[in-house]
Amino acid sequence: MKNPGYPGPAATLIYAGLFFFIVLALGCSGLRPASAGLPTTASPTVPPENMSWKDYPLTDVTGKGNFSVSSFPRVTVLVPVLSASCPACTILLNQQLNEIDLLNKNRNGSVVVVALDIDPASGPDYITSYHSQFNFSGYRARSPVELTLTLFNTYGPFAIDPTSVPVILVCPDGHDLLLPAGVKTATTLDTLLTKEC
């Protein structure tokens, strides 16, 4: 006999999926207030409507100074989006960083890499937590909340969802796009760069 208080297996799966999505959105979004103890950037509290995400001021956490993605004109820039808020994603994110590093070696260092950490400034960040597991010669910065929101508004939720291993490509002519989800091998990245740029 059917239990009248039990919603059934299909409804339970829908509720569980909805719950998981909400937890993921809250836990991996990095949309929490900034802490006063970390380096600050000149990022405005309310970004101008015409401000591109590439123009947001960033500070390299390894001491390379201040920059923005648009600071690298006429070169190819890859922006992997990272977060320690998704521990299950760490292996995939590290694989992606290794593939990007291999691509850059194959292209004689002609690709600028900006690892963008969307973790909340008040908690642990991906770059500090997993620094020893990845190794590339690029820039590493924490994303201001406004930049994270702009990425979400520009590309949709997958741009800030570490489970999709997001990487944004910025071509030398300035146009940009979110690359397909999942780990992209160095060969796939090379093909995408050649095709898109």
Q: Residues 6 or more apart from 65 whose CB is under 8 A from it? A: 59
Residue 3 lies inside a defined structural domain of this protein? no
Does residue 21 sit within a domain? no
Q: Write the CATH number for 167.
A: 3.40.30.10
pLDDT of residue 5 exceeding 80, the answer is no
Q: Is 13 part of any domain?
A: no
Residue the block writes with tokens 């796009």: 177
Average pLDDT over residues 85-100: 83
Distance in angstroms (rounded) separating the CA atoms of residues 10 and 113:
44
Res. 35: pLDDT tops 80: no
- Tokens coding 9: 């297996």
Of 68-72, 117-121, 122-126, the range with the lowest mean pLDDT is 122-126
**How does pLDDT run across 40-90, given as a tens digit for each residue?**
334 334 455 677 899 999 988 878 889 999 999 899 999 999 887 777 788
User: What pTM does this model have?
Assistant: 0.70
- Give domain status of residue 75, yes or no: yes
Instruction: Give percent of the chain above pLDDT 70.
Output: 66
Predicted confidence at residue 54, as pLDDT, reads 94
Question: Which region among 44-48, 111-115, 141-145 has the lowest average model confidence (pLDDT)?
Answer: 44-48
Give domain status of residue 27, yes or no: no
Structurally, the chain folds into a number of domains equal to 1
Residue bearing the bigger pLDDT, 31 or 154: 154
Q: Which of 167, 170, 188, 193 is nearest to 179 (CA)?
A: 167
pLDDT of residue 92: 87
Domain that holds residue 102: 53-196
The answer to whether residue 97 is domain-embedded is yes
Report if residue 34 sits inside a domain: no
Q: Which of 91-105, 144-158, 167-181 has the lowest mean pLDDT?
A: 91-105
The four Cα atoms 78, 150, 86, 126 give a dihedral, to 10 degrees, of: 60
User: Do the domain assignments include residue 46?
Assistant: no
